[in-house]
Amino acid sequence: MRSKRLNLDAYETDKIRLGYLDVYDAITAPWIDKEIKLLEVGVYQGGSLKLWRDYFPRGTIVGIDRKLPQHFQRGERIQVFAGSQADKEFLSKVANETAPDGFDIIIDDASHIGELTRRSFWHLFDHHLKPGGLYAIEDWGTGYLDDFSDGKRFDPKASILGCVRSMLPRRFSRRIKLPVPCDSYGMVGFIKELVDEQGAASIAMGQKASWRRSKFKNLLITPGVVFVTKAAPDISAFPNPVPAGDGLGKTTISWSTASISAGKVCVSVDNRQESLFGGSRQGSAAANWIRAGSTYEFRLYDSDHTRLLAKVVVRRATE
């Protein structure tokens, strides 16, 4: 529990009072001692930037706010920039200057307005978050507050009726008048959009549309903070090892570059020169020529074959 090793009285940030650090502690453990790049959108007086600087002792902390605090001391692994979270050009300029290989962690604690949060999320997530990186959206529950600029008080009647109607046979359900659906816009609507992205593969199957993986490895919705982990490039074989038997064995190789760019899959048999096996952003193909005693290394590269993204070694079981 990293935060328990810090003197939390030294930092002025509501993350402490709201108990968010207990959740961050559980999720950020793999990054603690690494040379990470962290971006926080929403600086206020800079208390959380100082907290993250000490929380990640080898990290570089970058803060963005449309209005920076007047006397904030930069340096010591903290950089700050003035601009809006809605300005994609500004976001890219800061990212290219401070984290050209992408951020490891991005935290949005800025406007808490659905449309602005959405705009910066998709831009930063797609272009400036590393594969396997973490994106946290704080205070998403503001979307349920009727005194928040794009909030709306939760209306349980509308939700329950909607749910009941969907369970009834059509001849009954048509007789029930459904009030305007609640909480499907603003911040809460945006969070529900993230649920749909997590379900992208199932949605495609349901619609018999061309299949695609979710851009998310996982999505965790906690009472105060939503965490999205970006999918990373992946290649796998099933079954592996390939069962023993007569003749040649068969496995299916599946891969995804987890990005918008294409990939290339090559195979090297017994460490010899590789040959092309497949090429696309994601896909799967059968390898029905697996021999006992040989080692097959399937390698997923970026499209120009300069970067190895992932690999899997396939063998045949001996009995």
Ligand X SMILES: C[S@@+](CC[C@H](N)C(=O)[O-])C[C@H]1O[C@@H](n2cnc3c(N)ncnc32)[C@H](O)[C@@H]1O
Contact residues: ligand X, CB under 6 A: 13-15, 40, 42-44, 47-48, 64-67, 84-86, 109-111, 116
Closer CB to ligand X, 51 or 266, in the complex: 51
Closer CB to ligand X, 72 or 185, in the complex: 72
Least distance CB 38 / ligand X (angstroms) = 12
Alpha helices in the chain, H assignment, sequence order: 14-17, 20-28, 47-55, 88-98, 114-128, 156-167, 170-173, 186-198, 200-206
Least distance CB 128 / ligand X (angstroms) = 16
- Give kind and range of the element (H or E) at residue 301: strand 296-302
β-strands 37-41, 103-108: how paired? parallel
Closer CB to ligand X, 77 or 291, in the complex: 77
Least distance CB 175 / ligand X (angstroms) = 45
Distance CA(62)–CA(113), nearest Å, equals: 21
CB atoms within 10 A of CB 4: 9
Least distance CB 77 / ligand X (angstroms) = 17
Least distance CB 119 / ligand X (angstroms) = 9
β-strands 296-302, 282-290: how paired? unpaired
Distance CA(250)–CA(235), nearest Å, equals: 16
Closer CB to ligand X, 94 or 267, in the complex: 94
Nearest to 188 by CA among 217, 153, 216: 153
Closer CB to ligand X, 40 or 150, in the complex: 40
Distance CA(293)–CA(315), nearest Å, equals: 7
Least distance CB 68 / ligand X (angstroms) = 8
Least distance CB 138 / ligand X (angstroms) = 8
Least distance CB 218 / ligand X (angstroms) = 24
Closer CB to ligand X, 116 or 300, in the complex: 116
Closer CB to ligand X, 108 or 234, in the complex: 108
Closer CB to ligand X, 85 or 256, in the complex: 85
β-strands 275-278, 263-269: how paired? antiparallel
The beta strand positions in 180-248, using DSSP E, are: 216-221, 225-230, 234-238
> Which residue type sits at 293?
G
Residue 14's Cβ-count burial label (10 Å; 0-12, 13-18, 19+) is middle
